Amino acid sequence: MTNDFPLRDDTLNQELQQLVNEAKQYPANSQNPTDRARRRIALNKLINAIKYSGKLSKQSKWLGSPHYQDYYDEALQLTFIEICQKIEQYKSEYDVMTWVNTIFSRRMSDVGRKDQKRGMTWSPKQQEISSLDTLNEDVPIEHEISDQEQLKEIIENDPEKFLSNEYIKGNPQASLKVILLLILEGKQWKEISEELKVPISTASTFYQRQMRNIVPYLKKYI
């Protein structure tokens, strides 16, 4: 019984390392559109796995701050961006979550110090938009896997109506189908949120949660 939790941690680390290795297979500077797209898909899966692992640090050192949640949210977005940009720097002798939480702690300290220097004039909503827009550049949709027109046709036809039936809670107009088509048009999250009249974080989080379902569904018809 005493080995239950270490075993779970080890299993999680193996899964995360597989995703890291998958992303590393495709060089960031590759001129091959398919390689770039597959790298982005792998990074997206990695970020989602980290986000919902239950192993992210609570950054308890900052719990007493009235701005704790704002600091936490911004630092986490910055951490995800850094992971995507520096995935090649990860060394397999360390647990993935140890590496992630080390970056997270540094970014949390950066955010806190930066805010204090500015005399508490930081605007959380503005900063979130900036971070999410940057994340969108690093981990966009997988539209380069095949011909864009072919993919667009599959999404529009939505043979099983899966994309149409998945939508942001309480907003059937903000379906996965609509979001995917907007991304294919080259829209950024800020533009998508304005068009759907939902917060950027809501649209982005909804999309990221669906990533593991989107790719297999589309691949069936490509």
Rounded CA-CA distance 58/68 in Å is: 10
What's the one-letter identity of residue 123?
Answer: S
The pLDDT of residue 147: 56
Selected residue with higher pLDDT from 199 and 163: 163
Contact criterion met (CB below 8 Å) for 155 and 175: no
Give the residue extent of every domain in the chain: 4-138, 148-219
The pLDDT of residue 144: 39
The pLDDT of residue 46: 93
Percent of the chain exceeding pLDDT 70 equals 80
Mean pLDDT, residues 174-190? 86
Mean pLDDT, residues 11-29? 92
The pLDDT of residue 172: 92
Query: What's the pLDDT band for 204 if we cut at 50, 70, 90?
Result: confident
Percent of the chain exceeding pLDDT 90 equals 30
